[in-house]
């Protein structure tokens, strides 16, 4: 079981490349908190912003973060997993006004939206970058959001940089010419970018690092997580998982908690609730069926666990989700 791929599917990661930017120094591009521009990823519970630098160099920073600005060069990708407001600029410390109107999806053309910053300013330095967004679920359990820093930068490998740059160029040209499917190509490309950057992030972690990503690399805990994700409905116990990975009960429980920051059974329960929440969104699925699919023999135990992690009963969650789907379909029919 590929745990990262399993999580990405379960939290429904989707992507979009929204802006294709050409910037002439001196320039600054200020982006708002992603919660304020949900129009870029309609229907997503949580929105993550990213910038991919194709040519030139610039600086990236979060205005209220004491962390020093980060210098970006061609091939770098910077991601803001918490959706923080952020700034890209030709010199560190620059600030600019946010134009919220540009974040409305165009109705007369496909993405990405071409944008030129400070054209004719006389500066000799030009920067080319694309800005995009990832949408995903935040509840009941998205371990990626807990594991990622507020801002992180990855230098894409030379081999990947070539195919990413070429795909961005081709997909952007397709959209500019109005070719069918260009916007979908960019959306899938954005998802590939996220996976590539997260993989680079994992590879670059120090050997003594702790957290969800480091757990994936650990021989014992990585195996335990693969077992949990491959067979979430299994009646796992700490003893059973410890035996599978070749550790004593106490050593396994301590090592798992040290890496993942939650106890093994707590992690299993949270992951089951993530799966159950998605199952309950399906038309015609009962609460009992959802409970059985994630390993609960008792509806009462399932109800208690679900309400503990989501704050509502599974029945209430199901009704809410089906109501939202109906409203979305009605909205689309009116248009």
Q: What is the pLDDT along the chain (335 residues), one digit of tens a residue?
A: 799 999 999 999 998 888 888 999 899 999 999 989 888 888 899 999 999 888 899 999 999 888 899 999 988 889 999 999 999 999 999 998 898 988 888 877 777 788 888 765 566 778 999 898 999 999 899 999 989 999 988 876 666 666 666 666 666 666 666 666 777 777 888 888 888 888 888 888 899 999 999 999 999 999 999 999 999 999 999 999 999 999 999 999 999 999 999 999 999 999 999 999 999 998 888 999 999 999 999 999 999 999 999 999 999 999 988 776 544 433 433 43
Cα–Cα distances (Å) from 59 to 26, 186, 197, 213, 273, in that order, read 12, 24, 18, 27, 40
**pLDDT given at position 332:** 39
Cα–Cα distances (Å) from 81 to 142, 147, 149, 214, 320, in that order, read 12, 10, 7, 18, 27
- 10 φ/ψ angles, rounded to the nearest 5 degrees: -70, -35
**pLDDT given at position 125:** 78
**pLDDT given at position 316:** 94
* DSSP H helical ranges for 91-181: 143-147, 158-176
Tell me the Ramachandran region of residue 7: left when phi exceeds 0, alpha when psi lies from -120 to 50, beta otherwise. Answer: alpha
**pLDDT given at position 157:** 62
Helix axes 264-280 and 299-310, enclosed angle (nearest 10): 100
The domains found in the chain, sorted by start residue, are 3-203 (2.60.120.280), 212-322 (1.10.10.60)
Cβ-Cβ contacts under 8 Å for 107 (sequence gap 6 or more): none
CA distance 54 to 40: 22
Give the three-class secondary structure for 160: helix
Residues 70, 154 contacting (CB under 8 angstroms): no
Angle at 121 between CA 116 and CA 126, to 5 degrees: 55
**pLDDT given at position 189:** 80
**pLDDT given at position 171:** 61
Q: Residue 108's Cα: distance from chain center in Å?
A: 28
Joined tokens for residue 129:
């970058």
Whether the model clears a pTM of 0.95, i.e. scores above it, the answer is no
């Amino acid at each position: 079981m590929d745990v990262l791929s399993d999580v990405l599917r379960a939290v429904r990661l989707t992507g979009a490349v929204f802006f294709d930017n050409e910037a002439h120094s001196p320039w600054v591009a200020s982006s708002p908190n992603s919660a304020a521009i949900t129009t870029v990823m309609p229907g997503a519970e949580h929105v993550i912003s990213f910038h991919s630098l194709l040519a030139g160099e610039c600086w990236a920073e979060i205005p209220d973060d004491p962390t020093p600005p980060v210098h970006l060069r061609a091939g770098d990708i910077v991601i803001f997993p918490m959706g923080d407001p952020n700034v890209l600029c030709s010199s560190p410390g620059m600030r600019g006004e946010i134009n919220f109107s540009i974040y409305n999806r165009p109705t007369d053309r496909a993405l990405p939206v071409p944008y030129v910053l400070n054209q004719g300013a006389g500066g000799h330095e030009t920067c080319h970058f694309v800005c995009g967004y990832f949408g995903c679920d935040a509840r009941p359990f998205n371990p990626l959001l807990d594991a990622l820093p507020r801002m992180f930068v990855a230098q894409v490998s030379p081999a990947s940089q070539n195919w990413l740059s070429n795909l961005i160029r081709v997909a952007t040209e397709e959209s500019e010419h109005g070719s069918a499917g260009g916007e979908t190509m960019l959306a899938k490309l954005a998802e590939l970018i996220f996976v590539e950057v997260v993989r680079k992030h994992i590879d670059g972690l120090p050997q003594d690092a702790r957290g969800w990503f480091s757990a994936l690399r650990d021989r014992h805990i990585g195996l335990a997580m693969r077992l949990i994700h491959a067979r979430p409905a299994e009646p796992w116990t700490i003893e059973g998982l410890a035996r599978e990975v070749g550790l004593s009960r106490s050593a396994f429980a301590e090592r798992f908690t040290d890496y993942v920051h939650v106890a093994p059974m707590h992690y299993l329960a949270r992951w089951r609730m993530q799966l159950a929440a998605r199952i309950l969104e399906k038309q015609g699925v009962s609460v009992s069926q959802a409970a059985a699919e994630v390993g609960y023999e008792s509806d009462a135990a399932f109800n208690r666990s679900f309400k503990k992690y989501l704050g509502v009963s599974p029945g209430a969650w199901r009704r809410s989700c089906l109501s939202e789907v109906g409203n979305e379909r009605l909205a689309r029919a009116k248009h």
